[in-house]
Structure 1
Amino acid sequence: MGRSTVQKRLSAPRVYAVPRKPRHGRFLTKVGPGPHPKELGIDLVTLLRDYLRSVSNAREALYVLKNRYLLVDGVVRTEKSFPVGLMDVIEVAREGKVYRMVPAVGRLLHPAPIPDSEKGLKISMIRSKVTVPGGRVQLGTHDGRSFLVDDPDAYFVGDSLLIKVPSQEIVSRIPLEEGTTALVIGGERLSSLGKVVRVIPGSFSVRPAVELEIGQERVLVPKELAMPVGMPEPPVTVRWVE
């Protein structure tokens, strides 16, 4: 038997901000392989129908995909199970609308409308750094991208990259350091923006953390949940505020 292509609404990952009751239909399209894990991504049918509300049902969503009207990070996507996630740029060509998937209060992914001037830019957070044959360094980011760089001391895990899409050209590095603006991408402070006060190294028994100044408060968040987005201010839209 092949892989199941549907997912029950009731047991869908928490990242799905959709109604769970049967009157809305029992099933969703199941997220397939792609740049985001299933716990952090949503499929294209749900994106078009429930998030963007560009279509009213799955059949219309498949029509949009088949006719190559949907672009993710500047690339046409036609596979209904392709996952979209944090900071992805979504363009519906036939409508002339562009969105960025950003956090909002209570949910990781919300399609925030953005101007055309932003659709060619994206922020990707560095999750891994390894040396490859030839002495070059390969960076892996939260959205499944890989970058080969020559200077091993110029980039660190936890930093972010401002890149051009779809060319994947690095525009600049956004370091995780004092004075940087960071976006909280998980936990009870989800979608909050704050200034980095200090980065606290981890140890064998203590996870690394970041102290952020959010409004008049200073809070600690796990390092992996503090995404650098600007030095000092974000160059693109990074969250949704109602």
Structure 2
Amino acid sequence: MLSNPVLSEANLLIALGVRTHCQDCKDRSATPNSSWSNWEGFDCGSNAPGLDGLEIKKKWQRKLTMYAGTGTQKALEAPCCAQLVDAGQTVWNLCAPRPSPGPHKLRESLPLTIFLRNRLKYALTGREVTTIVAQRLIKVDGKVRTDNTYPTGYMDVISIEKSGEHFRLLYDVKGRFVIHRITPEEATYKLLKVRKTAVGARGVPYIVTHDGRTIRYPDPQIKVNDTVKFDITTGKITEFVKFDTGNLVMITGGRNMGRVGTITHRERHVGGFDIVHVKDVLDRTFATRISNIFVIGEGSKAWISLPKGKGTKLTIAEERDQRRRQRAAEA
């Protein structure tokens, strides 16, 4: 049985196109007197044909199977960073928009529908989002995107030129996407982590970044795990920062996701994962895999503006005291 009050048995049968009233007495108030998976008849005593519980169950299962191939995912199965469902919240929607194939992984992306409808509240329905993007009003990294499920991800710059707004996608200390508002000057560039360096055909060197870009003829000093400053308008690298001790980093995976600190040292493990130790502004140290490290600045100066909190994770008691101080200040 379904626990969602909106998806009661009667509503479920109506959604499936099955008659829920008695065919003999035409009593629409009559309801099934047992589970639809174990059909016995109506409350009025009739056992009219046309409402077989096994057929209904098979039809519902076919509908669920059909969802799997139509680019749809359930809201509860959506990535936690998308923040579609809060703890203790009743899920009223069966499905959530599934991100299209693109530069970011499925579990690390935020479709434009969620960005415009759920976060910015610029639309009430998915159809309104489709209308907005069809007018070519939304740009991601300087390019117009008309796909309402286009996957935006970490460090992407989303611009709405008609309103003059620019946003950068970052993480908070709880691992959720943050819609960080930025200035037009900052919207002209983004930071890219180097995932691969290689030499292609005819000896052309190139690098591959975390968002799937391939940039040819980079600086020979750029290595894997370094961060480059990419100019969105020209498509060229303007600066780069080395993955080195003392530089500012943000964690993009694991339990410390969203935290910001400086690299203290790196443990090398042959045949395994290198471990990087990081210290935040409160002198709290933590460690994570090197794949979760994203360099965002040289020294203690960040190349981008950071959201509220500056990537500093507080304990539960510190968060409580902070809320008390805010309430006292408001009173």
TM-score normalised by length of structure 1:
0.91
Following TM superposition, by how much is the alpha carbon of 1:167 offset from its aligned partner in structure 2, in angstroms? Answer: 2.7
> Given residue 297 of structure 2, which amino acid in structure 1 is its aligned partner?
G
**Are the equivalent residues in 1 in contact too, given 2:264–2:279 (CA < 8 A)?**
yes
In the other structure, the counterpart of 1:10 is: 76
CA separation of 1:116 and 1:219: change in aligned 2, threshold 3 A: same
> What is the distance in 2 between the residues matched to 1:95 and 1:176?
37
> What is the distance in 2 between the residues matched to 1:123 and 1:151?
16
Q: Across the two proteins, how many residue pairs are aligned to each other? A: 239
Q: Summarize the alignment of residues 81-120 of structure 1 with structure 2, pairs less than 5 Å apart.
A: 81-120=149-188
> What is the distance in 2 between the residues matched to 1:231 and 1:47?
31
In the other structure, the counterpart of 2:195 is: 127
In the other structure, the counterpart of 2:247 is: 180
Q: Summarize the alignment of residues 9-48 of structure 1 with structure 2, pairs less than 5 Å apart.
A: 9-19=75-85, 21-23=90-92, 25-48=93-116
Gaps of 5+ in 1: none
**Are the equivalent residues in 1 in contact too, given 2:266–2:275 (CA < 8 A)?**
yes
Question: Deviation digits for residues 32-53 of structure 1, max 9, x if unmatched?
Answer: 1111111111211111111222
CA separation of 1:27 and 1:83: change in aligned 2, threshold 3 A: same
CA separation of 1:183 and 1:150: change in aligned 2, threshold 3 A: closer
> What is the distance in 2 between the residues matched to 1:166 and 1:32?
24
> What is the distance in 2 between the residues matched to 1:33 and 1:188?
26
Between 1:182-191 and 1:113-122, the stretch displaced more is 182-191
Give the number of the structure whose residues are more often strand, by fraction: 1
Question: Deviation digits for residues 79-103 of structure 1, max 9, x if unmatched?
Answer: 1121000000011223221110001
Q: Could you tell me which of 99, 118, 132 is aligned with 1:50?
A: 118
Are positions 1:162 and 2:224 aligned together?
A: no
- Structure 2 SS opposite 1:10: coil
**Are the equivalent residues in 1 in contact too, given 2:78–2:84 (CA < 8 A)?**
no
**Are the equivalent residues in 2 in contact too, given 1:102–1:240 (CA < 8 A)?**
no
- Structure 1 SS opposite 2:230: strand
Question: Deviation digits for residues 158-204 of structure 1, max 9, x if unmatched?
Answer: 11111111432101111110121111112222211111122322311
Q: Could you tell me which of 250, 267, 281 is aligned with 1:200?
A: 267
**Are the equivalent residues in 2 in contact too, given 1:51–1:110 (CA < 8 A)?**
no
Q: Percent identity of the aligned residues?
A: 22
Where relative contact order (Cα < 8 A, 6+ residues apart) is larger, the structure is 1
In the other structure, the counterpart of 1:228 is: 295
- Structure 2 SS opposite 1:219: strand
What is the aligned-residue RMSD (CA, Å)?
2.0
Following TM superposition, by how much is the alpha carbon of 1:59 offset from its aligned partner in structure 2, in angstroms? Answer: 1.6
Give the number of the structure whose residues are more often helix, by fraction: 2
Gaps of 5+ in 2: 1-65, 311-331
> Given residue 189 of structure 1, which amino acid in structure 2 is its aligned partner?
N
> What is the distance in 2 between the residues matched to 1:238 and 1:124?
16
In the other structure, the counterpart of 1:212 is: 278
**Are the equivalent residues in 2 in contact too, given 1:211–1:218 (CA < 8 A)?**
yes
- Structure 1 SS opposite 2:130: helix
In the other structure, the counterpart of 2:17 is: none
Computing the radius of gyration from Cα coordinates, the structure with the larger value is 2
